[in-house]
Amino acid sequence: MALLATLAIDPRPTVFGNKAVITGTLTAAGATSGHIDFSGLLASIDSFTINGTGGTVRAATSDGIDGSTVNLGAVVSGADYKFMAIGNRS
């Protein structure tokens, strides 16, 4: 399941010890579910938060975390989101 989206990851992750905080934005386009793969940045994910932005704030749900991949179950096509992932550095 792939998420057809524009994904932008902030190139300056925050690092503390063996942990990293990855932030970025996502614009859903043409799909209402999918996944984000953080394997190039994180070995595993401890926590993931995603919230809608813009004029009409929309919530998105995370169906679960599988290692370094976050599965999203409900995004609104065309909506903008900001996210934050915290996990073990790669």
- Boundaries of every domain in the chain: 5-89
Pull the structure tokens for residue 15: 């690092």
**Average pLDDT, integer, range 76-90:** 88
Greater pLDDT, 48 or 27:
48
Of 82, 81, 41, 87, nearest in space to 65 by CA: 87
Better pLDDT: 30 or 56: 30
- The CATH code of the domain at 5-89 is 2.60.40.3940
Q: Are strands 61-66 and 19-28 parallel, antiparallel or unpaired?
A: unpaired
Separation between Cα atoms, residue 74 and residue 15, nearest integer Å = 29
